[in-house]
Structure 1
Amino acid sequence: MTELHIRNRKLLYCLSSLGIVLAAVLIYVIFKNNETQYLQFLDPKHDKSVLMHTFRDRGPKDALLLILLTAITSAVPALSSSVICIFNGVCFGPVIGLLMNITGNSLGNALVAGFFTKFDEEHDFSKETKRPNRILEHLAHFKNKMVALILGYMIPIIPSFLVNYMGVRLKMDFKKQFLCIVIGVLPTSFLYAFGGDAIFKGNDLRLIISTLCIILLVVGGVTFYRKKHDAKKTN
C-alpha cells in the first residue's frame, strides 16, 4: 500500500511536469506561427488600424492550439489559464474567445477530475495538503453539493485543482461534476474573453467593467459562502 501511495504521487508530479513542458511547447509553436504579426503589432511605427485587422485573421489551427493551451494551463496546479483566456479574447474576439475559454477550461478540469476519480480509491490526496483550503472545507458541507462545486469553480482565488478533488471527495457522478465545471467556469471565461477584447480595442470602459465584474464575482462568491457558513453555525 505504501508503494502504491508513492507511485501515484510520483505519477501526479510526472503528469504535472509533462503538462508544463507541453504548455511551453505550445507557447513556442503559437509564437513561431505568428511571430511576424506579434512583432509588427508591438512596433509603434506600423499602422495599428491595419495590424488590428490582420492580427485577428486566424484560422481553426490557431484556435485549436490555444484551446489545448487553455486546457493544459487549467489542469496543471503550477500554471494559470487566466492569461491565456485573456489572450483568447484578444486574438478571436469576445464571442469566439468565450467559447474557447469554456471549452479549454472545461476539458482541463475534467481531465484532472477524471484522474482523481481513477486514483482516489487507492490514494488519499487530501493527506498531502498540509494547509487545506478553508473555503472548500466549508463548501463541502453544503446540502446542495452541485451548488457547492459550482461556487468552488466560480471563485478565482480557489485553486481549481482542489475543487476537482472536492468533487471526487463528495462522490459526485462524473457527468454531474462536468456540468458543474461548465457552469462554474462560465463567468470567469466570459469576463476574461471580454476583458481581452477590451484590451485589444483599447476600450477602457469595457476593461474597467470587466475588472469590476471579476471583483464582484469574487466578493459575491465569498459573501454567499460566509452567509451559508454563518447560518449553519447559528442552527
Structure 2
Amino acid sequence: MEELRIRHRKLLYGLSILGIILAFFLIYIIFKDNEQQYLKFLNPSHDKDLLMDTFRGHGLKDMFLLVLLTAVTSAVPALSSSVICIFNGVCFGPVVGLIMNIIGNTLGNLVVTGFFIRFETERDNKATSAKPNRILEKLAHFKNKMLALILGYMIPIVPSFLVNYMGVHLKLGFKKQLLCIVIGVLPTSFLYAFGGDAIFNGNDLRMIVSAVCIIVLVVGGVTFYRRKKRDHSVTD
C-alpha cells in the first residue's frame, strides 16, 4: 500500500478534537440521565437483584445516544469503541447490544470513509507522509481485496482509520466497502456485546470465553495474514 499521505492533516486533527469533545459530551448526558440508577447499582446496601431487573430499563433515547457514542469513538483515531460496545451489552443485553455495536461501528467507519473520499482522493506533492500499519500494508497486496479489507476491520490491533483509507484507495465502490465494514466489525461487535452481558450477569465462564475469543481473533487474523504473505512470496 502507498504511504499514507494526508493533504488535510490540520482539518483531520480539528475534526478529531471535535469528535473527542462530542464523545465526552455524550458520556456526560448519558451519565446525568441515569446518574441515580448507576449510583444505586454501585451501592452495596441496595437489593442487587431488584436493581438488575430495573437496570435495563433504558429507552430509545439512551439507545440512540449510545449508538452515536459508539460511532464517534469508532471514527476518531485517538479513541476506541470497545469499552462502549461492552457497555451496550451491559445495558441492553447481548442481542440488542450486538445490533447497536454493528450500527455504531459501521456509521463511524463510513464517516471516516466519507472524509477520505471527499478530501484525500486527489494527491499532490505537498501531502504529508506517514508510514501505514505494517499488517495493513501486507493486506493491501492480497489478490482478494474484499478479504483484505474485511480482515483489516476484523483484527482489533489494526487501526480502523487506516483500514478506511485502504478501502477508499482500493476503489472497491461504496456497496462493497459497506459490506466489508459490516462483516469485519461483526465478530468483535458480537464478542463485546455478549461479554458485556456476561459482566452484567456475573457469568465468569462467558467472560473468559469472550476474552479468549478476542485473543484468538487477533492471533488468527495475524497468522492468516502471515500465511498469505508467505504464499505471496513463494508465488513471486
Q: Which residue of 2 aligns with 1:81?
A: 81
Q: Which residue of 1 aligns with 2:59?
A: 59
For 1:171, the aligned partner's letter is K
For 2:233, the aligned partner's letter is K
Query: Which SS does the other structure have where 2:172 is aligned?
Result: coil
Q: CA deviation at 1:9?
A: 1.9
Q: Which residue of 1 aligns with 2:41?
A: 41
User: Which 5+ residue runs of structure 1 have no aligned equivalent?
Assistant: none
Kept in 2: contact 1:75–1:111 (CA 8 A): yes
Alignment: residue pair count? 230
Relative distance call for 1:102 and 1:6 in structure 2 (3 A) is closer
Relative distance call for 1:7 and 1:170 in structure 2 (3 A) is closer
Kept in 2: contact 1:95–1:193 (CA 8 A): yes
- Tell which deviates more after alignment, 51-60 or 190-199: 51-60
Q: Which residue of 2 aligns with 1:97?
A: 97
Identity of aligned residues (%): 73
* C-alpha distance in structure 2 between counterparts of 1:158 and 1:226, whole Å: 14
User: Which 5+ residue runs of structure 2 have no aligned equivalent?
Assistant: none
Query: Which SS does the other structure have where 1:96 is aligned?
Result: helix
Q: Which residue of 1 aligns with 2:179?
A: 179
Structure 2 counterparts to residues 1-235 of structure 1, below 5 A: 8-123=8-123, 128=128, 130-235=130-235
Q: CA deviation at 1:128?
A: 4.1
Q: CA deviation at 1:112?
A: 0.3
**1:13-47 deviation line (CA, Å, top 9, x unaligned):** 11111101110100000000000010011111111
Relative distance call for 1:6 and 1:151 in structure 2 (3 A) is closer
For 1:15, the aligned partner's letter is L
Query: Which SS does the other structure have where 2:132 is aligned?
Result: coil
For 2:40, the aligned partner's letter is Q
Q: Cα RMSD (Å) of the superposition?
A: 1.6
TM-score (norm 1): 0.94
* C-alpha distance in structure 2 between counterparts of 1:66 and 1:129, whole Å: 35
Identify the structure with bigger relative contact order (alpha carbons < 8 Å, sequence gap 6+). 2
For 1:11, the aligned partner's letter is L
For 1:9, the aligned partner's letter is R
* C-alpha distance in structure 2 between counterparts of 1:22 and 1:107, whole Å: 15
